[in-house]
């Protein structure tokens, strides 16, 4: 079978399932008795097994199979969840991940998994033996179990009426339990064949799981249907057995009385359950979460079916869409400038309408490219768990705002810097439990990973309650590495000192560990973030902890700018950094140490004459009035002196290319309505 065309999908889905495994295993570790979570993990593992077997990756299939066995034992209460057991399962998941990554990078997904398989097997066997007696229980038991399996169906009033009516017309109702072979690859196809046969014989009035889920292969090896037919029980069974890969067909006839009593029982059961749950809620507040989880599981099935309808779209297509839309934005700008010149009412109206529609379109396209930061954050709990074990520390990772959305391009880049920062916090920030205790802190350290929107930016913060940054140690190190001069050291603020740890060639941990690099890491973090148009700030209190705050732009492609003119050249100033514009008299300009400043609302703001900075060919004489764009960078402000303001516009941010990288105070370029290129000013570089 040629599986290449499915490879991409396989890799994507495998990653998702592995991630789900990881997440649920972590939850399971906290609530070892919650079988619902085991079921979730089991489901992921099972799907993965099926997919990998189809694709011919035997090692993955083999390992998942063993993992599944262990999970199954847990599910059936034959095994208990212990950290040791989870460790092995985690190793298995790790190896699966490794194999999937290998496949993604063009490998064959082979890995020696025998030791893990053996470990899993040992766990499975180790506990199975004492209980073996009960599994080889008398045949009766098995039969009754099977009966109960087939009797899973419950009917609503409407279905009962149908059954009742069919009885009256001499039709009989069978509940049929169909089991497929374990290695059945195309379950949906088998389901289809079974259903086709059934429909020929009579009417299927009910199935469990629902038909929809059966079609999506969202079930284990067996399913149950209720069939209303005139055929005899044996014939139904015979016909169904002809479908290949069906291992077992159990047909039971049901009578209307049976059904009614069953229904009654069930509702009573439910009521009882509710009563019990109510009691528990009153009795034990702690168990509340657990209860809720269970309730969620019992209600989750219908919600899954309703769920959001989504389709998978190749990222490349979204990028193409974005590029095309950018072209459209440029032409929109062009149309706007043409219609302004022509002054035709109808044209103006149409252009205005088009602008509004493209505005909406822009929102939609940008939103489509937005991805919740969760896609990056979700690997951290696992990483932290591993690291805390390696470091012998107790650390709790709290994630806040994982649903915050960011442009895909930013998401792609932000992962590695965050890994670095978190590793840094765990390794250098949080102290060992003994030291924490001695310092009167709780033994368990806390690392908070927080994401939130603010204006046109997204902030990601990593906060720990660890040792904080030791000013003296950092300074000593920085001086010895030649990053700061000794004479300057005293005058640096605490924040400036903290920022030194982002300089290249810096590492304060006296003992190098393989957890958080060798001091090459943090400066890479800084460069990556800055290349994304973001900034990183550190604030730290010694003994209390540190806060790394990363500010990132929401999107990188379309931004609002204010166009300004300098002589004959047009420049764009990003709206996000503009506070306001003003026109000032030349007599209002003051001199402070060779720096021209103005008094703006009580604040002294330095002026930046863009014509001088950008060496614009000049021909005008001294002016009496100056147009000033007031911009800010954090707390600092500056006034950019320009010739004229043109107006606000949405523009597509384009890079100047690799040939012209790092041009001073220019962050990129854009194409104006008239087809000319305008440069975008990087205000951050102009404010010292």
Partner 1 sequence: MTEVVDRSYVKVVVFQLADKEYVIPVSQVQGIEKLIHITRVPKTPSYVKGVINLRGVVTPIIDLKSRFGLGESSLDDSSRIIIITQDDLEVGIIVDSANDVLDIPTDVIEPQPEVVGGLESDFIAGVAKIDRRLLILLNLDLVLNPVKIGD
Min dist CB 619 to partner 1, Å, is 15
Binding of partner 1 at residue 655 (CB under 8 A)?
yes
**What SS3 state is found at 43?**
helix
Of 309, 591, 662, 688, the one binding partner 1 (CB under 8 A) is: 662
Of 464 and 682, nearer to partner 1 (C-beta) is: 682
- Minimum CB separation from partner 1 for residue 554, in Å? 22
For residues 573 and 667, the answer to whether their CB atoms sit within 8 Å is no
**Rounded distance, CA 535 to CA 576, Å?**
14
Position among 121, 262, 394, 654 found at the interface with partner 1 (CB under 8 A) = 654
Q: Which bin fits 651, alpha (ψ -120 to 50), beta or left (φ > 0)?
A: beta
Q: Is 326 a catalytic residue?
A: no
- Does position 350 bind partner 1 by CB under 8 A? no
CB closer to partner 1 out of 270 and 655: 655
Closest of 74, 77, 78, 76 to residue 89, by C-alpha: 74
Long-range contacts of residues 352-360, Cβ cutoff 8 Å, at least 24 apart:
358/325, 358/328, 358/329, 358/332, 359/650
531 binds partner 1 (CB under 8 A): no
Residue in 8, 327, 486, 580 binding partner 1, rule: CB under 8 A: 327
Q: Can you state the angle between helices 288-306 and 35-55, rounded to 10 degrees?
A: 40
What's the order of all strands across the beta sheet hosting 590-592? 578-585, 625-633, 636-642, 603-609, 595-600, 590-592
635-668 per-residue burial string, b: 16 or more CB within 10 A, e: under 16: eebbbbbbbebeeebbbbbeebeeeeeeeebbbb
Stretches 118-126, 133-141, 324-332, 480-488: which one binds partner 1 (CB under 8 A)? 324-332
User: Which residue's CB is nearer to partner 1, number 354 or number 656?
Assistant: 656
- Decide if residue 663 touches partner 1 (CB under 8 A): yes
CA dist 71 and 139 (Å) reads: 25
Bridge partners, residue 251, by sequence:
176
In the complex with partner 1, which residue's Cβ is closer, 614 or 645? 614
Residue with tokens 């500056």: 638
Residue 544 or 676 with smaller CB distance to partner 1: 676
Catalytic-labelled residue, pool 17, 24, 46, 420:
46
- Residue 683 is a binding residue for partner 1 (CB under 8 A): no
The single residue among 148, 285, 303, 661 that binds partner 1, judged by CB under 8 A, is 661
| Cβ 437 to partner 1 shortest distance, Å | 53
657 is a contact residue toward partner 1 (CB under 8 A): yes
- Size, binding site for partner 1 by CB under 8 A: 28
Q: Using alpha carbons only, how large is the chain's radius of gyration in Å?
A: 33
Residue 669 makes contact with partner 1 by CB under 8 A: yes
- Catalytic choice (424, 431, 461, 684): 424
**Length of the chain, in residues:** 688
Applying CB under 8 A, does 678 fall inside the site for partner 1? yes
**Residue 582 touches partner 1, criterion: CB under 8 A:** no
How far apart CA 480 and CA 492 sit, in angstroms, is 16
CB of 381 to partner 1, least distance (A): 38
- Residues 590-629 binding partner 1 (CB under 8 A) are 613-616
Q: Least distance in Å: CB of 664 to partner 1? A: 4
Q: Which is nearer to partner 1, 188 or 677 (CB)?
A: 677
From the list 437, 413, 311, 425, the residue with the least C-alpha distance to 368 is 311
Find, among 555, 515, 504, 511, the residue nearest to 532 by Cα.
Answer: 555
What counts of helices (H) and strands (E) characterise the chain? 24, 22
- Nearest CB to partner 1, comparing residues 239 and 654: 654
Q: Which is nearer to partner 1, 171 or 609 (CB)?
A: 609
Q: How far is the CB of 680 from partner 1 (least distance, A)?
A: 11
Asked if 329 interacts with partner 1 (CB under 8 A), we say no
Of 225 and 652, CB closest to partner 1: 652
Is 131 among the residues that bind partner 1 (CB under 8 A)? no
Residue in 433, 454, 430 with CA at minimum distance from that of residue 443? 433
Q: Which of positions 256-285 make contact with partner 1 (CB under 8 A)?
A: none
Residue 679 interacts with partner 1 (CB under 8 A): yes or no: yes
- Active-site annotation holder among 68, 97, 326, 463: 68
Residue of the chain from 124, 326, 407, 431 that contacts partner 1 (CB under 8 A): 326
Helix (H, G, I), strand (E, B) or coil at 518: coil
Query: Cβ-count burial of 457 within 10 angstroms (0-12 exposed, 13-18 middle, 19+ buried)?
Result: middle
Only one of the segments 139-147, 162-170, 452-460, 658-666 lies at the binding site for partner 1 (rule: CB under 8 A); that segment is 658-666
Q: How far is the CB of 358 from partner 1 (least distance, A)?
A: 16
CA distances from 2 to 5, 15, 381, 645 (A): 8, 21, 37, 62
| 658: contact with partner 1 by CB under 8 A | yes
Residue 567 bears catalytic tag: no
Task: Indicate if 565 belongs to the active site.
Answer: no
Work out the burial of residue 296: count CB atoms within 10 Å of its CB; fewer than 13 is exposed, 13-18 middle, 19 or more buried. Answer: exposed
Binding site for partner 1 (CB under 8 A): 326-327, 330, 569, 613-616, 654-666, 669, 671, 675-679
Name the residues annotated as catalytic: 46, 68, 424
């Amino acid at each position: 079978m040629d599986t290449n065309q499915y490879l991409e999908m396989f890799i994507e889905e495998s990653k998702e399932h592995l991630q789900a495994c990881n997440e649920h295993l972590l939850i399971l570790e906290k609530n070892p008795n919650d079988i619902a979570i085991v079921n979730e993990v089991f489901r992921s593992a099972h799907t993965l097994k099926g997919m990998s077997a189809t694709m011919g990756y035997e090692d993955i299939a083999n390992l998942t199979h063993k993992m599944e066995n262990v999970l199954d034992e847990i599910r059936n209460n034959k095994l208990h969840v212990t950290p040791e057991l989870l460790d092995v399962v985690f190793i298995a998941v790790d190896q699966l991940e490794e194999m999937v990554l290998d496949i993604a990078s063009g490998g064959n997904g082979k890995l020696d998994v025998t030791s893990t398989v053996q470990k899993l097997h040992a766990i499975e066997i180790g506990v199975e033996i004492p209980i073996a007696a009960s599994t080889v229980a008398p045949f009766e038991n098995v039969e009754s179990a099977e009966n109960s399996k087939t009797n899973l169906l419950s009917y609503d009033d409407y279905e009962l009426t149908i059954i009742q009516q069919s009885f009256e017309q001499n039709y009989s109702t069978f509940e049929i339990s169909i089991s497929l072979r374990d290695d059945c690859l195309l379950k949906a196809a088998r389901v289809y064949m079974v259903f086709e046969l059934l429909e020929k014989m009579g009417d299927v009035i009910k199935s469990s799981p629902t038909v929809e889920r059966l079609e999506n292969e969202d079930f284990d090896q067996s399913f149950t249907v209720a069939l209303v037919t005139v055929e005899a029980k044996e014939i139904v069974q015979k016909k169904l057995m002809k479908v290949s890969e069906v291992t077992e067909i159990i047909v039971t006839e049901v009578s209307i009385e049976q059904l009614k009593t069953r229904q009654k029982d069930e509702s009573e059961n439910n009521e009882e359950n509710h009563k019990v749950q109510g009691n528990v809620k009153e009795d034990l507040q702690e168990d509340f979460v657990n209860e809720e989880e269970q309730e969620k599981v019992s209600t989750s099935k219908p919600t899954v079916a309703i769920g959001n309808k989504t389709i998978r779209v190749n990222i490349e297509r979204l990028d193409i869409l974005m590029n095309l839309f950018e072209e459209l934005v440029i032409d929109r700008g062009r149309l706007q400038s043409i219609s302004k010149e022509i002054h035709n009412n109808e044209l103006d109206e149409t252009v205005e309408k088009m602008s509004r529609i493209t505005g909406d379109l822009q929102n939609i396209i940008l939103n489509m490219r937005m991805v919740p930061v969760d896609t990056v954050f979700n690997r951290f709990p696992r990483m932290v768990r591993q690291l805390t074990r390696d470091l012998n520390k107790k650390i709790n990772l709290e994630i806040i705002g994982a649903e915050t959305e960011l442009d895909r391009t930013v998401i792609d880049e932000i992962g590695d810097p965050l890994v670095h920062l978190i590793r840094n916090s765990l390794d250098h920030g949080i102290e060992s439990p003994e030291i924490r205790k001695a310092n009167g802190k709780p033994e368990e350290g806390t690392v908070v990973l927080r994401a939130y929107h603010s204006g046109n930016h997204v902030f990601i913060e990593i906060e720990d309650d660890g040792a904080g940054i030791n000013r003296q140690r950092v300074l000593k190190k920085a001086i010895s590495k030649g990053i700061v001069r000794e004479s300057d050291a005293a005058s640096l603020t605490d924040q400036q000192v903290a920022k030194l740890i982002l300089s290249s060639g810096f590492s304060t941990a006296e003992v190098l560990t393989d957890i958080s690099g060798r001091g090459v890491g943090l400066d890479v973090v800084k460069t990556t973030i800055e290349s994304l148009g973001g900034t990183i700030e550190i604030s730290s209190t010694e003994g209390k902890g540190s806060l790394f705050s990363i500010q990132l732009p929401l999107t990188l492609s379309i931004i609002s700018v204010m166009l300004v003119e300098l002589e004959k050249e047009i420049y764009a100033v990003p709206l996000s950094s503009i506070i306001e514009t003003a026109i000032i008299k030349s007599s209002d300009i003051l001199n402070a140490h060779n720096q021209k400043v103005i008094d703006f609302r009580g604040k002294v703001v330095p002026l930046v004459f863009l014509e001088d900075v950008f060496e614009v060919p000049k021909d005008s004489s001294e002016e009496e009035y100056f147009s000033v764009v007031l911009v800010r960078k954090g707390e600092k402000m500056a006034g950019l002196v320009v010739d004229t303001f043109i107006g606000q516009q949405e523009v597509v941010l384009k890079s100047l290319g690799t040939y012209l990288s790092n041009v001073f105070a220019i962050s990129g370029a854009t194409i104006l309505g008239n087809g000319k290129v305008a440069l975008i000013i990087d205000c951050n570089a102009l404010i010292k």
